[in-house]
Structure 1
Amino acid sequence: MEEMQGKVALITGASSGIGRATALKFASEGASVALVARRAEKLAEVVEMIEAQGGQAKAIAADVTQPAEIERVVRETVEAFGGIDVLVNAAGIIASGTIETTSLEAWDRMMDVNLRGPFYLIQCAMPYLIERKGNVVNVSSVTGLRAFPGILAYCVSKAALDQLTHCVALEVADKGVRVNAVNPGVVVTNLHRAGGMTEQEYAAFLEHSKTTHPLGRVGRPEEVAELIFFLASPKAGWITGVSCPIDGGRSQTCAR
């Protein structure tokens, strides 16, 4: 039986990577999905895939750094599907930079996308989540759990997202809303290339990452989507306030 039949999932970063895989997973389990990303043409492709399988999906092109657009995302989701049962914050960016090289502009951009956006989206969606006793899953990172040099702003943004997850989980537990995070290691997505890596650099990075993850390989978006789905499902009904590594064991090793 489809576990999310009749439920509504709002998923950011849904045009690619983990967000896209999550949207496809939720739709395959019967959920109506509102898909959010900046690239309308990429969202349309995901909607087409979902509808071809008999699912329901709505594309909402929006920038999660803009409060008015976040408000519109929530409004359009509720207008289309009647409420919100699950919020998945999967939108994110990465960039290289140290304490000596990170500009204020780069710092602010990282926090706007990776922290401020999820904060305000959770805040705007919360009345609907309370109404349906729903839940939130934030896509954090192994860098939220362990320090890594050279990606300072990214690490801090993800550590803060984890703490946001934990605090909000306690604040809304008595209202029946659960809030959790997943913390992936290196997963094959467009994240690092969008952050400035060339194809050659990315290929070398993936090869090196086989040595930094104890299981000897990098992850797939679909693997992370399965964990997100589990945490959002009734099977995880007694789980809240956790940051759950899905990283091939990397969080149990020293950063290298």
Structure 2
Amino acid sequence: MSLQNKVVIITGASSGIGAATAIKFVEEGAFVTIVGRNAEKLRDVTAKCAAVGNKPLVISAELTNDEDLRRIIDSTIKHFGKLDVLVNNAGIVHYGDILSENAMSSFDKMIATNLRPAVYLTHLAAPYLIETKGNIVNVSSVTGKRVALPNCFAYNTSKAGLDHFTRSMASELAAKGVRVNSVNPGIVRTDLSQNLGIEKDQEDDFWNGFNKTAPLGKIAGSEEIADMIVFIASDKGKSITGASFVIDNGSMVVPQIVK
């Protein structure tokens, strides 16, 4: 896919979509910087990348820390000498409604984690991406397009903001040869079940419960989202900018009953 020797930064790369994306890029011949907080999981991703291609540059960072964000860009440029693709993937989910006592702290946390780092990293990376005529892929969510998760106003809003930021940057950077797009997954099978404390022998039941919500009768795997990210970032997507790609097994087109 014309990604040989391209340099890619992926945030939230210690597991799930980010980890799968790192491996896919390496398989295509890219050099990758993987960013995350879990050292053990980053080591695992590093080993999987090294098994199929170039060993990644590993950066442990907290994306709410501006100094860490600057270090991600500076270290990548120092190590690889350039930057071709930025994948803003890191994000968290926090439940809570507008009547909750923690409504504003939840909102602040979602914006600080899901939106602001993508904005700042784009600001820092843009000069290097202009040099290489590179591109940005933001990993958003279907919740940025509709209220797919109840009692999740802060998360939904952060993803809607990320979507419009994507369009704004696509408009601003197009004349400089930089493309900006987003991928908007629905439910994706990741390590969420483990993080929620669900036992391994109950994981299939947990995930199978979501299968009924999508017209295609299944949920996506991280590798499917990674395939789309890599396609958009490659030369095969050279005419695509300002677009949002929904991958939700048809959940967005479920008819609504009107009475």
Which residue number in structure 1 is paired with residue 184 of structure 2? 183
Which residue number in structure 1 is paired with residue 72 of structure 2? 73
Cα deviation 1:189-248 (Å, max 9, x = unaligned): 134664xx4417976652332111111011100000000001001011110001110110
Could you tell me the TM-score, scaled by structure 1's length? 0.93
Shift of 1:56: 3.1
CA pair 58-176 structure 1, distance change in 2 beyond 3 A: same
Equivalent position SS for 1:199: coil
Question: Does 2:127 correspond to 1:127?
Answer: yes
Judge conservation of contact 2:46–2:56 (CA < 8 Å) in 1.
yes
Which residue number in structure 2 is paired with residue 97 of structure 1? 96
Shift of 1:99: 1.2
Instruction: State the distance in 2 between where 1:87 and 1:248 align.
Output: 26
Q: Which amino acid aligns with 2:104?
A: L
Give the alignment's Cα RMSD to 1 decimal: 1.9
Shift of 1:151: 1.3
Equivalent position SS for 2:33: strand
Instruction: State the distance in 2 between where 1:171 and 1:165 align.
Output: 10
Aligned-residue sequence identity (percent) comes to: 46
Which residue number in structure 1 is paired with residue 168 of structure 2? 167
CA pair 203-158 structure 1, distance change in 2 beyond 3 A: farther
Instruction: State the distance in 1 between where 2:231 and 2:172 align.
Output: 22
Instruction: State the distance in 1 between where 2:106 and 2:203 align.
Output: 21
Instruction: State the distance in 1 between where 2:18 and 2:71 align.
Output: 19
Shift of 1:8: 0.2
Judge conservation of contact 1:94–1:192 (CA < 8 Å) in 2.
no
CA pair 110-202 structure 1, distance change in 2 beyond 3 A: farther
Q: Which amino acid aligns with 1:216?
A: G
Shift of 1:46: 1.2
Aligned residues: 253
Judge conservation of contact 1:142–1:250 (CA < 8 Å) in 2.
no
CA pair 105-231 structure 1, distance change in 2 beyond 3 A: same
Instruction: State the distance in 1 between where 2:97 and 2:247 align.
Output: 26
Q: Which amino acid aligns with 1:145?
A: K
Judge conservation of contact 1:40–1:60 (CA < 8 Å) in 2.
no
Equivalent position SS for 1:212: coil
Unaligned runs of 5+ in 1: none
Judge conservation of contact 2:217–2:249 (CA < 8 Å) in 1.
yes
